Amino acid sequence: MGVAASALHHLPLIAQSPARKIGYCIIGLGRIADHHMRGIAESSTARVTGLVSGHRDKAERIAAQYGVSTSSIYSYENIERIRENKDIDAVIVCLPNSMHAEYTIRSAKSGKHVLCEKPMAISVAECEQMISACKLANVKLMIAYRLHYEPITLKTIKLIRDGAIGKVEAIDSANGFNIAPNEWRSTRALGGGGPLMDVGIYSLNATRYLTGEDPIAFTAVATTPDQDSRFQGVEENLAWTMKFPSGAVASCITTYGASMPGYYKVFGSKGWLEVDEFGYQGLHLTANYRSDRNTPPTRIDEKNPEPDPKQFARQIDHFSRCILENRTPDTPGEEGLKDMQHIQSIYKAAGLTLG
């Protein structure tokens, strides 16, 4: 029970006093942590109450910025001391992929709820261990699939579920970028894989929330034509296909070697829709569909005007409410595990291995 019960205990108090916010300890203070902290600053349910970093100076600077007590700054060695910090309800794991499992499990064992960045970990086994550890500790585990909380994405999913574009037959998606040298993400040791793990996962996850199905067959091809120091044991380019139980098919592509702004397009028996951008803002939905050949088409052209870090604020509000109301997050550990199982299948189809 532990923290979950304790959070429930606070529920009436919260309802009366919205000023009481869930306290989050940020583990790892890189770029993504910055987005989370700015999102927390904009949220109505969260506050930053702890920091874990290997760089004390940096941590103190950020602590001052977010009003965190210097006594709530931890190192990777003494992270278990967050257990005694009553201001910390949960952690956000913002570390390189290869460290997600360890710090999720150590945080859970320290009695804290966990919001973990995607990809959940670097192997299926790690994901399973994370889920088990959080269950055992009776803490919540959510994976930071921020688009599940983003209005254009939710509208797109609803359009499809409502049958607007008819039966989904095909999905096409791409997401990639030209990675700079010396990024942990393009090393096998820290990234656990290449662009599929890092950004291709958006396409994979999108096909799943768009169809409401899990893929059942995979084909893939991977190449690393640029034999430069950026690609240490990871693929540079990867194209793959998936088949879904309904008979829908998907073609996806990702890269670390080229400019590739993200998008997905969904092709249905009654029309199509498209969302440009998997990024932190500016998701843009266009659609064109009609109920039958004699009906004039419905057209949609709609952009989410909310600037970054609103996605992170929405995401953290969801997790805070799940903690406060003892609900399972919409993107629990099981959601991250499924993507990891599919990533494993895609890598296998490409002749690569995961983990």
> How many Cα atoms sit within 13 Å of 131 on the Cβ side?
18
First to last CA, the chain: 32
- Pairing state of beta strands 73-74 and 46-52? parallel
Interface with a second copy by CB under 8 A: which range of 12-20, 84-92, 148-156, 252-260? 252-260
Here the tokens at position 196 are: 């599929």
Q: What is the DSSP letter of 159?
A: H
CA-to-CA dists, residue 349 to 179, 249, 354, angstroms = 24, 16, 11
Q: How far is the CB of 157 from a second copy (least distance, A)?
A: 18
Q: Which is nearer to a second copy, 77 or 301 (CB)?
A: 301
Among 129, 138, 224, 341, binds a second copy (CB under 8 A): 224
- 8 Å CB contact between 170 and 250: yes
**Binding marks (x or -) toward a second copy, 164..203, rule CB under 8 A?**
-xxxxxxxx-x-x-x-------------------------
Q: Which is nearer to a second copy, 129 or 241 (CB)?
A: 241
Q: How far is the CB of 174 from a second copy (least distance, A)?
A: 5
Q: Is 240 in the site for a second copy (CB under 8 A)?
A: yes
Distance between CA atoms of residues 124 and 241, nearest Å: 20
Q: Is 70 in the site for a second copy (CB under 8 A)?
A: no
Residues 5-64, interacting with a second copy (CB under 8 A): none
Interface with a second copy by CB under 8 A: which range of 26-34, 69-77, 143-151, 259-267? 259-267
Q: Work out the angle at residue 203's Cα, subtended by the Cα atoms of residues 202 and 204, and round it to the nearest 5 degrees.
A: 90
Distance between CA atoms of residues 198 and 211, nearest Å: 22
Interface with a second copy by CB under 8 A: which range of 29-37, 100-108, 150-158, 248-256? 248-256
Instruction: Report, as residue numbers or ranges, the catalytic residues.
Output: 118, 202
Quickly count: other Cβ atoms within 10 Å of residue 213's Cβ: 16
Q: Which is nearer to a second copy, 98 or 173 (CB)?
A: 173
Here the tokens at position 35 are: 């987005």
Interface with a second copy by CB under 8 A: which range of 7-15, 137-145, 154-162, 247-255? 247-255
Distance between CA atoms of residues 67 and 79, nearest Å: 20
In a 3-state reduction of DSSP, which class is residue 7? helix
Q: How far is the CB of 272 from a second copy (least distance, A)?
A: 5
Residues 263-292, interacting with a second copy (CB under 8 A): 265, 267-272, 288-289
Binding stretches for a second copy (CB under 8 A): 165-172, 174, 176, 178, 217, 219-226, 236-243, 246-255, 257-261, 265, 267-272, 288-289, 349
